[in-house]
Structure 1
Amino acid sequence: MRLSPTLSIYIARQLIMWLAIMGLGLSTLVFILSFVEQLRRAGGEAGLAMELAIFQLPFLVQKTLPFVILFGSMMAFWRLSRTNELVVARAAGVSAWQFLLPAVFIGAVIGGIQTTVFNPLASAMLARYEKVDAEYLRQTTSRLSVSPTGVWLRQGSEGGQIVINAQRITLDGAELLTVIFFVFENPDRFIRRIDADSAVLRDGYWQIQDANLATVDNPRQHVEEYRIDTDLTPDKIANSFASPETLSFWALPGFLENLEAAGFSGHRHRLYWHSLLSMPLLLGAMVLFSAVFTLKIGTRTSASRTIGAGVICSFLLYFLSDVIHAMGLSGGLPAILAAWSPAALATMLAMAMVLHLEDG
């Protein structure tokens, strides 16, 4: 029997309603917990804590979305099972695959919207959160950026600051290639410019060979060796990159290209981009999982036991995803494999369980 459009719309409407309820409930809970944590970090300053919690909320909602889909779908299917609506549909010849298709489609569409529309908002607000957090709580600022013109670094100096531009940088962060140092006495007073083919980061200073110095009074002066004091280390340079979570799905490919052109590894950012791409598949799998653990309610097993099994399974899947993600970050797995494996494994496992459920 072919699934009627009326039944498809009804199932979709029930699912969307419960997803909205679950999403609102989890978002409220996440916001309260985030606000309490930010209030602790801000030393009781409620205004700053509220600002930080609001900026961080979209990113946290994005992280909890698979659970929203799973629990919201479980509630929708549980209600349809308790009222025997699905029993009647199956008695009329509608298979589990037929009435699950609209729900899986909605899950995949939500995943696509999350990746292409909601993620840019979440990443922009998270970037703002990190900026406010660094300025008011950690009292630090980002000192590195990557653009088509190369790598840009900023460091403090006695009575001013130094801006560094390099076309490339070695993977260990210890050597800059085709480098320019702009020395300022204060933010708007230029002192000198140093050009060189390379600059090596030593313990507490930059060592520059065959440097060309230019000042306001002396446009060009060649020196065999020049040193600039610095508090930078290779670890500080590597950790100064914008985290992939602060870059939108649309901005990541360009940033990744600039990052690798500058000589850095883009493995972490590529892994995150592919994990965003896999979101529709993962959320579709969450809908299938919810069906497996709720369609039997009212027949052979109790509701609490079945829903409890679904919750445990979801957290096991989340733990497995974290392990695979950690292996991807460490380089133990290719970025594409590490990003797509959780979604692919969840989909195959959920489909196998639905097949078993359908065949009795």
Structure 2
Amino acid sequence: MMLRGKLALYLGRQFLQSVAIVLFVLVALTAIIQILEFLRRTADKVDVTFGVILQLTFLDLPTKTLELLPFVMLFGAMLAFYRLNRSSELVVARAAGISAWQFLAPALAVSLVFGIVVVTIINPLAAAMASRFELVEGQYLRGRASMLKVTSDGLWMRQADGDGQIVVHADRARQQGVDLRDVIFFRFVDLDRFTMRIDAQRAVLRDGYWEMRDAYVALPNQPIEVYKRFKLPTTLTFLQIQESFAPPETLSFWELPAFIQTLQDNGFVATRQRLYLHSLLATPLLFVAMVFLAAASTLRLVRRGGNALFLLGGVLSGFLLFFMSDVASAFGVTGDVPIYLAAWAPGLVGLMAGTWFVFQLEDG
């Protein structure tokens, strides 16, 4: 049975305060580390001012914060339970007949609601800032923006070509972008001077060139020439095409399903995007699991006077969770394990382990 009234509100407020403290500390440390990292990366770039570095840090901070939130929930819950234990409030509650499940219910409810808010509201804001960060970083640090974009109108691609560039548009793509259908190549010099247009029924990326079929080549002030086979040199590779997509973090939870469908319609597997979507869906479960793990490592150890074990148990839980999530994601991207398992396994394992420990605490 869940707690009601003032006690539930008090416990929920204590949990929120502890989470806020941990969040503030970790975000501040992350911001400092990010500033130092951007200073290092821009040490040889005279056109990058400290204002640009602050802008990069501000735009990238929400994405980094979302990555930290599971640890924020873990250490925030541990701090809350530790404070309640040290003040003997937990002892009084247990003496009054309140079970561990009732005591944890407010924190579990807050973590679940907070997880839903993160996915549906905070994530879209962070995605918008991450998208802007990609543009600014491409301008000042990488020297280029993403060279590939997939929309409902087809695929757009850009490649360097000597003193100019070639812009490619295809209505459809196959084999993850190396086999283009109904494709047009536009060649420009100095970004604004048109020098050539090629329309082809099909273009396939080979080693060092595009091989086209039924190509119509148009040059300025010259008649159109038709080729059954036409080769256009390129420095693009399959790996470059795969790495040219903007990170999934630049797309919000609400945009991801449609974008994944668009990618699949254009011949792309969209593994990274699907994995990221399921990781977002699993966020509330992961937050709840963190509260259970915090209760398991804090309530038992502190009650027995094991302050050092309490700290060590929390740190190890965080690192083990991070390692497991990282490994599962890597296997999910490569296709060695199903995407559903890679995204949901960390939260499920943490939930089962934490629940088991709380059962032991309650029975003991």
Q: Matches of 2:236 and 2:322 in 1, distance apart?
A: 37
Contact persistence 1:19–1:72 (CA under 8 A):
yes
Q: Matches of 1:286 and 1:331 in 2, distance apart?
A: 27
Greater shift, 147-156 or 124-133, is seen at: 124-133
Secondary structure (helix, strand or coil) at the match of 2:341 reads helix
Secondary structure (helix, strand or coil) at the match of 2:303 reads coil
1:144 is matched with which residue: 134, 139, 148? 148
1:165-180 pair list within 5 angstroms = 165-171=169-175, 173-180=177-184
Counterpart of 1:15 in structure 2 is: 15
Write the letter of the residue equivalent to 2:346.
P
Q: Matches of 1:121 and 1:323 in 2, distance apart?
A: 27
- After superposition, the Cα gap between the structure-2 partners of 1:74 and 1:218, relative to the gap in structure 1 and judged at 3 Å, is same
Q: Matches of 2:302 and 2:224 in 1, distance apart?
A: 86
Aligned pair 1:129/2:133, yes or no? yes
2:64 is matched with which residue: 56, 60, 65? 60
1:71-220 pair list within 5 angstroms = 71-171=75-175, 173-214=177-218, 217=221
Please report how far the alpha carbon of residue 185 of structure 1 lies from its aligned counterpart in structure 2 after TM superposition. 3.9
Counterpart of 1:42 in structure 2 is: 42
Counterpart of 2:321 in structure 1 is: 317
% identity of equivalent residues: 46
Secondary structure (helix, strand or coil) at the match of 1:295 reads helix
Write the letter of the residue equivalent to 1:303.
N
Write the letter of the residue equivalent to 2:288.
G
1:284-303 pair list within 5 angstroms = 284-303=288-307
Contact persistence 1:78–1:297 (CA under 8 A):
no
Contact persistence 1:42–1:48 (CA under 8 A):
no
Q: Matches of 1:299 and 1:115 in 2, distance apart?
A: 35
Q: Matches of 2:223 and 2:22 in 1, distance apart?
A: 66
Contact persistence 2:302–2:310 (CA under 8 A):
no
What is the total number of aligned residue pairs between the two structures? 360
- After superposition, the Cα gap between the structure-2 partners of 1:2 and 1:111, relative to the gap in structure 1 and judged at 3 Å, is closer
Please report how far the alpha carbon of residue 134 of structure 1 lies from its aligned counterpart in structure 2 after TM superposition. 2.0
- Which whole-Å deviations, capped at 9, do the CAs of 1:121-147 have from their partners, x for residues lacking one? 222222222222222122122110000
Greater shift, 301-310 or 342-351, is seen at: 301-310
Please report how far the alpha carbon of residue 218 of structure 1 lies from its aligned counterpart in structure 2 after TM superposition. 6.0
Contact persistence 2:301–2:309 (CA under 8 A):
no
Q: Matches of 2:322 and 2:125 in 1, distance apart?
A: 24
Q: Which runs of 5+ in 2 are unaligned?
A: none
Please report how far the alpha carbon of residue 168 of structure 1 lies from its aligned counterpart in structure 2 after TM superposition. 2.8
Q: Taking structure 2 as the reference length, what is the TM-score of the superposition?
A: 0.93
Secondary structure (helix, strand or coil) at the match of 1:163 reads strand
Please report how far the alpha carbon of residue 200 of structure 1 lies from its aligned counterpart in structure 2 after TM superposition. 2.0
Please report how far the alpha carbon of residue 162 of structure 1 lies from its aligned counterpart in structure 2 after TM superposition. 2.0
Q: Matches of 2:238 and 2:263 in 1, distance apart?
A: 16
Please report how far the alpha carbon of residue 192 of structure 1 lies from its aligned counterpart in structure 2 after TM superposition. 4.0
RMSD: 1.9
Q: Matches of 1:302 and 1:359 in 2, distance apart?
A: 20
Counterpart of 2:282 in structure 1 is: 278
Q: Taking structure 1 as the reference length, what is the TM-score of the superposition?
A: 0.94
1:210-359 pair list within 5 angstroms = 210-214=214-218, 217=221, 221-359=225-363
Contact persistence 1:259–1:266 (CA under 8 A):
yes
Contact persistence 1:175–1:200 (CA under 8 A):
yes
Write the letter of the residue equivalent to 1:63.
E
Please report how far the alpha carbon of residue 41 of structure 1 lies from its aligned counterpart in structure 2 after TM superposition. 0.7
Please report how far the alpha carbon of residue 310 of structure 1 lies from its aligned counterpart in structure 2 after TM superposition. 2.1
Q: Matches of 1:111 and 1:253 in 2, distance apart?
A: 19
Q: Matches of 1:358 and 1:40 in 2, distance apart?
A: 51
Q: Matches of 1:40 and 1:220 in 2, distance apart?
A: 52
Please report how far the alpha carbon of residue 96 of structure 1 lies from its aligned counterpart in structure 2 after TM superposition. 0.7
Counterpart of 2:28 in structure 1 is: 28
Please report how far the alpha carbon of residue 172 of structure 1 lies from its aligned counterpart in structure 2 after TM superposition. 5.5
Greater shift, 158-167 or 96-105, is seen at: 158-167
Contact persistence 2:74–2:290 (CA under 8 A):
yes
Q: Matches of 1:324 and 1:208 in 2, distance apart?
A: 40
Secondary structure (helix, strand or coil) at the match of 1:341 reads helix
